[in-house]
Structure 1
């Protein structure tokens, strides 16, 4: 297959206004693609990268490379595999600033956010699974009455198909990649075509780390072409996907006849419950983050806030004031809290929900259409909007039921604990929720009754990779964590020996 050598990589300096041309990574080398997709800088609307428009042929080549590498990789000790990942983590950490700037430009998030969250989390993903998985692989017991020894093997599946989204591009790719590799699988990954640049840069890190060729293959392209070819490939026995519920449903239907193993982390309509005994200042600061960080483009973001009636008016005034103070602008500005949304079509979709809210009788307290968005001239064509708070909607309205995935949150009052539990659970989603109260017993009671994969009390987005992550209902299938990922990326075999 055609390739570029390491010697030639980066020797030609690219003009500042010239788009980056990305190649697929197959069998340890960069492989050019004939057709490309334009990738836009969300802060300017200008094309800044050309992404391979891969299809069946490219996926077939990647799967073949992964299959060829599987025996050698799966036979290595867990510690040897860990050493490879730790070397990659060290190189990635040494290039943190370069990756943070690229992730910001590609996705739209502020550079400071990529610098303190996204790229450090990528490094942590690699190191955590490298250190943890070797301690969880096998178990054994002795049955003296039967005169046997039983032990288990956690055997890798083969080629893992990994599909990651555009909101946390490298963060979520490495969250899948690290456990898949540590369990002895080889990988074919497809990042989102809207945010592929840091995955491409990561391929160069793999080369610089002398990672075994063919163990990791990354094919870039659209979901209906490259993505579908990957999920339906007969030599890919398991698929891990993070993205929309609609796409997850399609993957489940398309792969059902093939009995593939699936992990689906999908949409959310996450609620916060604010009781009148909460620490108001801490609660509002947390909800500012949970509603508007990354322009609301995190599957765990809060989009419904239920506030106890006695506190409702005071909360609404203070929370609206905080939202109005949020600075929006170029992601490179260190004082900017919110950059642009990721794409023009996504911005248009999010803005439609404001129209739906008005149609459904809601009141827009702040944000789009209420306040002026002042941007520098070079960012006028970017995909920006202000954080938006809406009230006065019924629980059955579109904005209270459907995933928006943007900086819009709906605030509504409630009376009793029993009432709010019923109302929070009245949604087809169940990814996460937050509870704010100083009553520890109440915090436990409510957390136990909310139908969600994760419930935070007096905090948000505190993650421990040893704890299960995933959703219920239309929010997902399966869990991801040290133990859960180990179980997903392997099959258990029991061996019984007569002694």
Structure 2
């Protein structure tokens, strides 16, 4: 019986280590909650350092096992393609597991899972394209070339907002290159990653190539980031946690790839169709309940259309349909965590205390069918100022602050006045203005007349406190491979052993 078949109330889920479902050494389990009811629906193994060590050892053994190490690049690509086929086969089941785990709309998760096989296919095609190069040097009797090799065991700590989509962007290239992996999913959303592990086994990957250890960040996550057997850490989450992980990894001189927080500027000029821009702002901050690092949560509107725009935005926010995420009519489901709901409420109160005005939302819905879940109304705070607390900190909820600007110089100053630099968006018909904005804004991704548009073949990543390292496209293949230089002397001559050969 597969994990997806066992996804029933009260199920107890174990780690996936060395190709086997493995009980936690401590015997302890943690509860995962359904955001629509606030009630527990399964238990996952509460891993600790001993579980992490077992998983890393399994990954290290798989890394040097000829079954994986000697597998050709083309053969690895075929395995990744087979995994893509299995994800496509079970996409609806995986989408429903994630919906139940984090409260996202079923149609949103179905869209993510429906597109996910394309990412695996893309990187499967990269498996036999990763190559070195021959380098001409000023010694005719030397052959100088480079090799691209796997880094080793990659430790991945994934978030609760889009577990499989965000995992896939790094797991697919890691497998295509020949790395092995230990994944620590969020303690709040472990089920879909464990289900994926079973598909990886079904696809035919050797045991130990992919391992999953569930548990809390302060135990299992901490142990993974400190483990000396890890070659690189991948993390998606808050900037505060990212700092701690980077500190832990530095103790072993281990590099990291991090996608951290965001407080992205979303800009509207007066030369656009305001209803289209409103739709873009709604997509940027209310889609996924605002629980996305790229959320356009700071909205800057040209002063001449500011009042008209906020009226239209507030009206649209009030008409957003809140409900159960499985309902096709629902546009906004619950927040994923009780703690996240409390955080959103706190920051809205900060905004009001600091002088912003609530134009829409600002509270939990009063509908009797929703009161047990972790729902919050889409909220528009107007007359905001960049120095307000809710405009400085990442809220990770359906809350947008809107403020006017007068000209481009002021706009760029306001947009860049943040610790973050993950994404930015602009709505304008003036291509010169759009390009000036794209060049001057501190953001790893800039959208023009669109927002929250993703492509696995495009490199993405943040600036400043939004992290470092790139995901997507060929850039991520460089992130998870190491470059080795090889030099062959075919002259047959004997050189002076005390003089470096420079010519």
> Shorter-chain TM-score category?
over 0.9
CA distance in 2, matches of 1:468, 1:9: 35
Alpha-carbon offset, residue 375 of structure 1: 4.5
Q: How do 1:479-494 residues align onto structure 2 when only pairs under 5 Å count?
A: 479-494=470-485
**Aligned with 2:79 (options 81, 84, 95):** 84
Alpha-carbon offset, residue 177 of structure 1: 1.0
8 A contact 1:133–1:486 mirrored in 2 = no
Counterpart residue number, 2:262: 268
Task: Say which is worse superposed, 240-249 or 392-401, in terms of deviation.
Answer: 392-401
User: Is structure 2 residue 429 aligned with structure 1 residue 438?
Assistant: yes
Instruction: Structure 2 unaligned segments of length 5 or more: list them.
Output: 491-503
User: Is structure 2 residue 461 aligned with structure 1 residue 466?
Assistant: no
User: Is structure 2 residue 384 aligned with structure 1 residue 390?
Assistant: no
CA distance in 1, matches of 2:355, 2:329: 35
Counterpart residue number, 2:495: none
Counterpart residue number, 1:324: 318
User: Is structure 2 residue 239 aligned with structure 1 residue 245?
Assistant: yes
CA distance in 2, matches of 1:75, 1:211: 13
CA distance in 2, matches of 1:9, 1:291: 36
CA distance in 2, matches of 1:293, 1:363: 22
Q: How do 1:392-471 residues align onto structure 2 when only pairs under 5 Å count?
A: 392-471=383-462
Counterpart residue number, 1:68: 61
User: Is structure 2 residue 43 aligned with structure 1 residue 50?
Assistant: yes
User: Is structure 2 residue 16 aligned with structure 1 residue 28?
Assistant: no
Counterpart residue number, 1:338: 332
8 A contact 2:130–2:148 mirrored in 1 = no
CA distance in 1, matches of 2:294, 2:453: 11
Task: Say which is worse superposed, 75-84 or 451-460, in terms of deviation.
Answer: 75-84
CA distance in 2, matches of 1:115, 1:90: 15
User: Is structure 2 residue 194 aligned with structure 1 residue 200?
Assistant: yes
Alpha-carbon offset, residue 9 of structure 1: 4.7
Task: Say which is worse superposed, 475-484 or 86-95, in terms of deviation.
Answer: 475-484
Partner secondary structure for residue 467 of structure 1: coil
Deviations along 1:232-276, one digit per CA (max 9) or x if unpaired, are 101112101111000000011122221101101100000111111
User: Is structure 2 residue 153 aligned with structure 1 residue 159?
Assistant: yes
8 A contact 1:356–1:399 mirrored in 2 = yes
Counterpart residue number, 1:97: 92
Counterpart residue number, 1:5: none
Deviations along 1:203-257, one digit per CA (max 9) or x if unpaired, are 2212222221110001001101000111110111210111100000001112222
CA distance in 2, matches of 1:64, 1:178: 21
Counterpart residue number, 1:497: 488
Deviations along 1:267-313, one digit per CA (max 9) or x if unpaired, are 00001111111232221111111110110001111101000010101
- Runs of 4+ in structure 1 deviating by more than 3 angstroms, as ranges, are 8-14, 141-145
**Aligned with 1:41 (options 34, 45, 56):** 34
CA distance in 2, matches of 1:433, 1:119: 25
Alpha-carbon offset, residue 11 of structure 1: 11
8 A contact 2:18–2:208 mirrored in 1 = yes
CA distance in 2, matches of 1:498, 1:12: 60
Q: TM-score, normalised by structure 1?
A: 0.94
Task: Say which is worse superposed, 309-318 or 459-468, in terms of deviation.
Answer: 459-468
CA distance in 2, matches of 1:460, 1:9: 38
**Aligned with 2:132 (options 131, 135, 138):** 138
CA-based RMSD? 1.7
Distance 1:64 1:372, change over 3 A: closer
CA distance in 2, matches of 1:493, 1:40: 47
Distance 1:145 1:65, change over 3 A: closer
CA distance in 1, matches of 2:353, 2:440: 32
8 A contact 2:77–2:126 mirrored in 1 = no
Q: How do 1:13-24 residues align onto structure 2 when only pairs under 5 Å count?
A: 18-24=9-15
CA distance in 2, matches of 1:364, 1:11: 43
